[in-house]
Chains A and B, each alone.
Chain A
């Protein structure tokens, strides 16, 4: 399943979204960028990863390797000329594809936030959960974090995962577009100025001869 803006144009951008809790928070902004690119002459494709959203595959059985293969397959399927990956989506970007990585993060950082949310929620419920214990549990049996069932294999992969260093993709930092990253916020939202900047950077890079 994918959200696509496909007019059979020459310039075709695979969009790899933020993962887990950040997926929800960044969704509207991601689509805002895609809408702008659509107007600029770039076709865009935002796949759902197996185990996520309407996928019929159980999330708990997913692995980073699956998702990376899925990203490669999506690039082929949509005839992508470029890739735009967002936050932990950068961990999945096919390295040979030109494009951009926006505010890349590591798997370890993604897990850290999720683990922390769990220990804080436990504290609120007057239970004690220690991060170290949760990590041991997760590596053995997998774990549910912020409502996301993460299998043991995925957890272990994420602990080590960084964006591919061989890639030719350009880096876009939050400071390049101004304002604060929308993944920080408690609720999903959009920021038109940030979306304008992101779309402009991508459009210029995609459409230039």
Chain B
């Protein structure tokens, strides 16, 4: 998986290459990776995925997301975010919106992360 410098630049607490920050501040690493995964699984433009917010509808709202596609999504999330997704984890809330899925992924991830909310 190639890492694009522009995306690297917005991860809080890390040095930026060119000082450019085209994406909103405050995105966790998990958030950045999750958007990449959705981009790859849904074959969407990066700009479109970048525009996802907490209320963006996923399962039930995006026709591409059938059960096989969700299975692929979860497999990629497990591989790239280094988490495990059990049967019991899967509920409507985590699947329905981008915010729900991100909350789940961040809760599971043990990746070190420094959110840009002023706390350290």
> Which residues on A are within 8 Å of B, measured CB to CB?
21, 109, 112-114, 116-121, 123-124, 130-131, 146, 174-175, 178, 180-181, 183-187, 189
Knowing A113-B71, A175-B2, A178-B2, say if A119 contacts B76 (CB, 8 Å): no
17 contacts between A and B (CB under 8 A): A112-B75, A113-B72, A116-B70, A116-B71, A116-B75, A117-B68, A120-B90, A121-B67, A146-B68, A175-B1, A180-B1, A184-B72, A184-B76, A185-B41, A185-B72, A186-B64, A186-B72
Number of inter-chain CB pairs below 8 Å: 62
A63 to chain B, nearest CB (A): 24
| A123–B2 CA distance with the chains assembled, in angstroms | 35
Which of B64, B68, B70, B90 is most buried by chain A, counting CB atoms within 10 A of its CB? B68
Contact of B70 with A120 in the complex, beta carbons under 8 Å:
yes
CB distance from B113 to the nearest CB of A (A): 23
Contacts of A146 in B (CB 8 A): 68
What is the size, in residues, of chain B's interface with A at 8 Å between Cβ atoms?
21
Segment 28-63 of B: residues with Cβ below 8 Å from A: 39-43
Residue of B nearest to A175 (CB): B1
Whether the Cβ atoms of B2 and A116 lie closer than 8 Å is no
Complex CA gap A186/B68 in Å reads 7
Instruction: List A contacts of B42 (CB < 8 A).
Output: 185-186
Dominant secondary structure at the A interface: helix
Say which residue of B43, B66, B74, B90 sits within 8 Å of A123 (CB atoms). B90
List the B side residues contacting A114 at CB < 8 Å: 71
Task: Add 13 more A-B contacts to A123-B90, A178-B2 (CB < 8 A).
Answer: A112-B75, A113-B71, A113-B75, A117-B68, A119-B87, A121-B67, A124-B67, A184-B40, A184-B76, A185-B72, A186-B41, A186-B66, A187-B64
> Could you tell me the distance between the alpha carbons of A119 and B2 in the complex, rounded to whole angstroms?
32
What separation, in Å, do the CA atoms of A121 and B65 have in the docked complex? 11
Q: Which residue of B lies closest to A120 (CB)?
A: B67
Residues A21 and B68 in contact in the complex (CB < 8 Å), given A116-B75, A184-B76 = yes
Give Cα A186–Cα B90 distance, bound, in whole angstroms: 19
Q: How far is the CB of B67 from chain A (nearest CB, A)?
A: 4
Q: Which residues of A contact B75 (CB under 8 A)?
A: 109, 112-113, 116
3 tightest CB-CB pairs across the interface, nearest first? A180-B40, A117-B71, A121-B67
Q: Tell me how far the C-beta of A189 lies from the nearest C-beta in chain B, rounded to whole angstroms.
A: 7
